[in-house]
Amino acid sequence: TITDAITSNSIVSDIASLRVEVLEQVSATCGLANGLVEVSPIGGIAPYTYTWQHGADEQFLTDLAAGDYQVELSDATGCTATLNVTIIGEDQPNIDNLEIIQPVCSGEAGSAQITLDDNGLTYTYQWVDEDNFIRSKEAHIEGLDEGVYTLSVSNAFGCSTSQTFEIRTESSLKLETSTFHQVVLGQSARLNAIVSTNSAVTFEWFPAEGLSCTDCEDPIVSPTTTTVYTLIVRNEWGCS
């Protein structure tokens, strides 16, 4: 407070104590240095000078990262006031909890689901396939064939992040057989099954008549009439 006294008229004038307050403040978003703050003096006598702890000397600061900032305000009389300002950081979405369910057998479809800590925020989702076709805008997606997909997540601040993942069949099972054998009555032939797989398999031939075994890979066949034999191969996941 500054007091000026004029004896003849007994006039006293008070200058309010110097203070500094925040006039405008914006958070930093998406992990970027895009926050801002503007401070304003109250009381004191102009002109004013601003000295920020990190070296700036302006009343209005932009391009601020999340963190704590301190400004010292000085007026024409040398009075000072100090203010601490915290710029809040709003990060981009974090795709850590992406659950992918791979199809087990050929012909089955996969699925995926994203779970985010909402923190009171609203998120938007977009699942895109290899042809850049939007497959879903929900947090969960089903019916995914083998291929590469990209999930993009955005929050209310316009911050976004994406992650690419692949849907692939866990089980590999392929079967090749000769479709025709001509066997003279009273003679035999061997049925050949060529199996390509990444797991143990079982064999089931039917009908059993004329076969040396029904659960082997290459049975010997001795039919008495024209017969169509069928082979079913199953792996340890139950795929056939």
For the stretch 1-49, pLDDT in tens is 333 332 223 223 345 689 999 999 999 988 889 999 999 999 989 999 9
Quick check: helix, strand or coil at residue 31? Answer: coil
The more confidently predicted of residues 13 and 145 is 145
What is the band of 179 on the pLDDT scale with cuts at 50, 70, 90?
low
| Structure tokens belonging to residue 198 | 């990444």
Q: What rounded mean pLDDT belongs to the chain? A: 83
Alpha helices in the chain (DSSP H): none
Q: Which residues contact 60 (CB under 8 A, 6 or more apart)?
A: 36, 37, 38
Q: What percent of the chain clears pLDDT 70, i.e. is strictly above it?
A: 88
Closest CA to 238 of 187, 170, 192, 142: 170
Q: What percent of the chain clears pLDDT 90, i.e. is strictly above it?
A: 41
Tell me the average pLDDT across 164-181: 75
- Reported pTM: 0.64
| Whole-number pLDDT of residue 11 | 29
Q: Which residues contact 237 (CB under 8 A, 6 or more apart)?
A: 104, 105, 170, 171, 199
For residue 11, what are the β-bridge partners? 6
The more confidently predicted of residues 23 and 180 is 23
List the Cα angle 169/130/95 in 5-degree steps. 80
Closest CA to 82 of 15, 16, 1, 19: 19
**Quick check: 204 pLDDT over 90?**
no
Q: CA 234, CA 57: separation in Å to the nearest integer?
A: 76
| Whole-number pLDDT of residue 15 | 52
**Quick check: 82 pLDDT over 60?**
yes
What is the band of 68 on the pLDDT scale with cuts at 50, 70, 90?
very high
Query: What type of residue is 64?
Result: L
| Whole-number pLDDT of residue 47 | 94
Tell me the average pLDDT across 85-100: 87
**Quick check: 133 pLDDT over 90?**
yes
Looking up tokens 């316009």 gives 158
| Whole-number pLDDT of residue 21 | 92
| Whole-number pLDDT of residue 10 | 29
CA of 161: how far to CAs of 101, 142, 144, 150, 175, in Å?
21, 21, 21, 10, 42
| Structure tokens belonging to residue 34 | 């895009």
On whether the CB atoms of residues 174 and 195 are closer than 8 A, the answer is yes
| Structure tokens belonging to residue 157 | 């601040």
Radius of gyration over every alpha carbon of the chain, rounded to an integer in angstroms: 39
Q: CA 192, CA 176: separation in Å to the nearest integer?
A: 8
| Whole-number pLDDT of residue 129 | 94
Q: CA 45, CA 4: separation in Å to the nearest integer?
A: 14
**Quick check: 228 pLDDT over 70?**
yes
